[in-house]
Amino acid sequence: MLLSWTSSQVRAAEEPLLAAGVPLMDRAAFALATQVAALLRERLGRVGGAHVAILVGPGNNGGDALFAGAHLARRGAAVRALTVDERVHGAGAAALRAAGGRLVAADEGAAWAADADVVLDGLLGIGATGGLRGVAADLVERLSVGVRGLVVAVDTPSGIGVDDGALPGPVLAADRTVTFGAAKPGLLLPPASATVGQLSVVDLGLDLAGAPAIARLDDADVAGLWPVPPADAHKYTRGVLGVVAGARRYPGAAVLSTTAAVLAGVGMVRYLGDVGDLVVARRPEVVIGVGRVQAWVFGPGVSPDDASQRRRIEHAFEGVRERGEAAVCDAGALELLPAHVGPHVVLTPHAGELARLLTTRGEHVDRAGVEAEPLRWARRAHELTGATVLLKGPVTLVVGAQSAVYSQAEAPSWLATAGAGDVLAGLLGALLAGRADDIHEDPSLAAALAAAAALVHGRAAHRANPGGPVAARAVAVALPETIAALLADA
Ligand SMILES: NC(=O)C1=CN([C@@H]2O[C@H](COP(=O)(O)OP(=O)(O)OC[C@H]3O[C@@H](n4cnc5c(N)ncnc54)[C@H](OP(=O)(O)O)[C@@H]3O)[C@@H](O)[C@H]2O)[C@@H](O)CC1
Ligand SMILES: [K+]
């Protein structure tokens, strides 16, 4: 599991080590230089003679970059540091000069940086207040037009909202971010997370206190959460999922959500709706009609003005309230959500649907507003409804009980396709049904399961067609192998 910690938590953990004389900056800079040298060897076959540009801000972030530059200069790289402020980390600048590197003013070095093999962005780290200003902002705007080489961000892409993932000004998008001590929330949160590239965390031996801000599950976590049937399992002990989905106008959503649930390995799926004939023709495992269930999927392909589906969903919500059945509330069912539910109900809106849901509850926000501050609005929806909220997007965020926040970024952009949400709903429903008793005991588990479903959804899309277009049905079909691979590697 990747955990992230706020800048003040990181500073608090650094303090006792710095007081004890632990050379944190040396460690950070050495690890950074080692990674950059490896990238140069990969790209050019050598470090000697490579052109390395360093963007140097006024604080310790610039210091890290200068010391890393000194290491690279000693290995034969041609290193130029572009300064944006009169203040420059003194010892770092001296080390770079002693190693043969040069310091130049930003406007003098910008063209050289645009053509360098690697650009190290050490303008700002956790000391950033607001977006980049002045010369630093001008330099980044100029380089954002295009740099030939790789961009490596030092600790964070300079100028992101380190704790909230905001993009308050220009940011040079990185190919890789080498972050020190611990990941920071802004590296995992949209929209800033889109500027991070590949994330690498350098362990500085920090003893981080308090709860981490945001988590990202990995494959082993998901394998640990998966409801693997014991030897004496039968279909009812494995969980029964009720699915209220689809209509004559939207039959595909019913087929896709039930298919995903069956292929994710639930004990049984009961379908409620008007297209049972089509569902059974595609998935003969599905049982039509009412009966006892442990969890529900409401909403894929349901219009709120469909009176019969509406009745079924409203009736089923009584079971959710009275018997604590877990539920996925998706698409059309979001408009049928009762005023207040518990975290065992997982909402799965995209940004536009979340904006609508919030608006009906008195908030003033539109789709663009949700996209600019997704964590803020997912949190708000959790506070207002009591539900666990899974906000779909290029990065999926989950906010649940006990301040749980997850950020999952496995989905390829190809997964932004019709029907993908129906597959996610069915897959998540299968997980909720399979762990219904545990959710009963601890409703905050629903958030971890929602994050797990997002990871599996993304992995299944990769497996269905690595690096290329993928149809929703193919994602569902890839689920059994994807889950088996996760469990085998655990
Ligand atoms: N702590 C440690 O032991 C370790 C820390 N490490 C490293 O230190 C980094 C943190 O260093 P830091 O605290 O010096 O802050 P940093 O990010 O360099 O920026 C502060 C400077 O930027 C300026 N500035 C602020 N906002 C601005 C803006 N929008 N636009 C323009 N300028 C702006 C601000 O100016 P001021 O507001 O004071 O006028 C101030 O001068 C951390 O990210 C990691 O890389 C590692 O070596 C491991 C050990
Ligand atoms: K930086």
Residues 328 and 207 in one domain: no
Check pocket membership of 60 for ligand 1, CB cut-off 6 A: yes
Instruction: Mark which of 188, 213, 238 sits at the end of a domain.
Output: 213
Query: How confident is the model at residue 257, as a pLDDT?
Result: 98
Query: How confident is the model at residue 236, as a pLDDT?
Result: 83
Residues 473 and 453 in one domain: yes
Long-range contacts at 73-77 (CB < 8 A, ≥ 24 apart): 73/99, 73/100, 73/101, 74/99, 74/100, 75/37, 75/47, 75/48, 76/47, 76/48, 76/49, 76/50, 77/40, 77/47, 77/48, 77/49, 77/50, 77/51, 77/52
- Ligand lying nearest the CA atom of residue 131: 1
Q: Which atom of ligand 1 is nearest to the CA of 11?
A: 1
Check pocket membership of 28 for ligand 1, CB cut-off 6 A: yes
Instruction: Mark which of 194, 213, 232 sits at the end of a domain.
Output: 213
Are the C-beta atoms of 430 and 225 separated by less than 8 Å? Answer: no
Residues 304 and 321 in one domain: yes
Q: Which atom of ligand 1 is nearest to the CA of 159?
A: 29
- 173 DSSP 8-state letter: -
Instruction: For residue range 302-350, list pLDDT tens digits in order.
Output: 998 899 999 999 999 998 999 999 999 999 999 999 999 999 999 999 9
Residues 338 and 459 in one domain: yes
Residues 255 and 204 in one domain: no
How many CA atoms are closer than 13 Å to the CA of 30, on its beta-carbon side?
Answer: 7
Compute CA distances 276 → 243, 268, 287, 291, whole Å: 11, 15, 9, 15
Would you tell me how many other CB atoms lie within 10 Å of the CB of residue 413? 8
Query: How confident is the model at residue 305, as a pLDDT?
Result: 87
Please tell me the distance from the alpha carbon of residue 155 to that of residue 181, in angstroms, as a whole number.
Answer: 9
Residues 47 and 117 in one domain: yes
Q: How many domains does the chain have?
A: 2
pTM here is: 0.96
Query: How confident is the model at residue 304, as a pLDDT?
Result: 82
Please tell me the distance from the alpha carbon of residue 167 to that of residue 278, in angstroms, as a whole number.
Answer: 46
Range of the domain at 377: 219-489
Instruction: For residue range 423-435, list pLDDT tens digits in order.
Output: 999 999 999 999 9
Instruction: Mark which of 174, 195, 213 sits at the end of a domain.
Output: 213
- Ligand lying nearest the CA atom of residue 128: 1
Check pocket membership of 127 for ligand 1, CB cut-off 6 A: yes
Residues 189 and 308 in one domain: no
- Ligand lying nearest the CA atom of residue 136: 1
Residues 153 and 104 in one domain: yes
Compute CA distances 88 → 66, 113, 152, 156, 215, whole Å: 9, 18, 20, 18, 34
Would you tell me how many other CB atoms lie within 10 Å of the CB of residue 42? 9
Residues 367 and 422 in one domain: yes
Please tell me the distance from the alpha carbon of residue 26 to that of residue 12, in angstroms, as a whole number.
Answer: 19
Residue 27 phi, psi (nearest 5): -65, -45
Distance between Cα 123 and ligand 2 center (Å): 5
Token pair, residue 79, equals: 């290193």
**Binding site membership for K(+): which residues?**
61, 121, 158
**Binding site membership for AMP: which residues?**
392-396, 421
Residues 361 and 462 in one domain: yes
Q: Which atom of ligand 1 is nearest to the CA of 155?
A: 45
Residue 284: asked if its preceding bond is cis (omega within 30°), the reply is no
Q: Which atom of ligand 1 is nearest to the CA of 126?
A: 43
Token pair, residue 449, equals: 């399961």
The CATH number covering residue 394 comes to 3.40.1190.20
Q: Which atom of ligand 1 is nearest to the CA of 181?
A: 48
Compute CA distances 226 → 78, 152, 155, 341, 454, whole Å: 51, 36, 34, 25, 13
* Residue located nearest, by CA, to atom 15 of ligand 1: 127
Check pocket membership of 121 for ligand 1, CB cut-off 6 A: no
Strand order in the sheet with 51-56: 102-105, 78-83, 51-56, 118-122, 150-154, 176-180, 198-202
Please tell me the distance from the alpha carbon of residue 385 to that of residue 300, in angstroms, as a whole number.
Answer: 20
Residues 256 and 384 in one domain: yes
Are the C-beta atoms of 67 and 34 separated by less than 8 Å? Answer: no
Query: How confident is the model at residue 235, as a pLDDT?
Result: 84
Q: Which amino acid is at 468?
A: G
Residues 188 and 278 in one domain: no
Query: How confident is the model at residue 233, as a pLDDT?
Result: 87
Check pocket membership of 25 for ligand 1, CB cut-off 6 A: yes
The CATH number covering residue 111 comes to 3.40.50.10260
Strand partners, 443: none
Are the C-beta atoms of 299 and 293 separated by less than 8 Å? Answer: no
* Residue located nearest, by CA, to atom 39 of ligand 1: 58
**Helix and strand element counts for the chain (H, E):** 19, 18
Check pocket membership of 138 for ligand 1, CB cut-off 6 A: no
Distance between Cα 81 and ligand 2 center (Å): 14
Of 267, 275, 271, nearest to 296 by C-alpha is 271
State which residues of the chain have pLDDT below 70: none
Check pocket membership of 133 for ligand 1, CB cut-off 6 A: yes
